[in-house]
Structure 1
Amino acid sequence: MTIIKSFNQVLSEQRKDPEFEKAYKEADREYISFKNVVKARECVGLTQGEVAVLMGTTQSAVARLERNLASGILPSHNSLTRYAKALGKRVVVNFL
C-alpha cells in the first residue's frame, strides 16, 4: 500500500536538512520582497493599466512583469526601474 504524503509533510521533512532550510529561507526572503513590489502598486492605488500608461507600455506587459516577480523571475533592471518610477518609488539593491 502506497502512502501519499501531503506537501506540508514533505516540506516539514525536507526542512530538517540544514542545507535545504538555508535555501528555503533565502528563497522565502526573495519571494516576500517580490510580493512587496505588487503590494506597493496596490498601496499607491494604481491599476495595472494606469502603471502601464506611466511606463509607456501595455497593461498585459505590467501583468506579466508582476506575475514574473511573484514567481521569482526577475525582469530587466530597466523594466523594474520604470515600474518603480511609475509608482513614485526607486529601486534599491542590497547585498546581504
Structure 2
Amino acid sequence: MLTHDELIAKALKRPGVKRELDRLEREEFAVLDVLLRARREAGLSQAEVAARMGTHAPAVTRIERGLASGKHSPSIATIQRYLAACGKRLVIDAAPA
C-alpha cells in the first residue's frame, strides 16, 4: 500500500497531472495577487479589511495564506466580500486555454 506522499509523487510523474496542478497554482496565485493589490490600493491592513468584512483579522490572514500555500481556495462569495471591503468588485472573464 502506498503512503500519501508516495501516491502524490507517483501522480506528479504523469504529465497531465503535473500540468493541471501547475495551472491551478498559477490561477490561485493570480487571485492572491488581485486581493493583495486591492488591499494595498485601498491602503488597508488585514485587520481593517476584516472589520469591513464583519470578521476578525485571522480570517483575512487565512484567506491570504491559504491562497499563497495553495492549500485553500476561498469561495467566490468570500472573494467578493474581501474585494468589497477594499472598495472593489469582482469581475470574471474567460480566456482561451
Q: TM-score, normalised by structure 1?
A: 0.65
Segments of 5+ residues of structure 1 without an aligned counterpart are 1-13
Q: What residue is the counterpart of 1:69 in the other structure?
A: 67
Greater RCO, CA 8 A, separation 6+: 2
Segments of 5+ residues of structure 2 without an aligned counterpart are 1-12
Residues 22 and 66 (structure 1), Cα distance of their counterparts in 2 relative to 1, 3 Å cut: same
| Identity score, percent | 40
Residues 60 and 28 (structure 1), Cα distance of their counterparts in 2 relative to 1, 3 Å cut: closer
Aligned length: 81
| RMSD of aligned alpha carbons | 2.3
**In 1, distance between residues paired with 2:67 and 2:22?**
17
Report the residue type matching 2:43 in the other structure: G
For residues 25-72 of structure 1, the C-alpha deviation after alignment (integer angstroms, 9 at most, x for no partner) is 523531441231223212321000000110110001111111112233
Residues 28 and 64 (structure 1), Cα distance of their counterparts in 2 relative to 1, 3 Å cut: closer
Pick from 27, 31, 34 the counterpart of residue 31 of structure 2: 34
Q: TM-score, normalised by structure 2?
A: 0.65
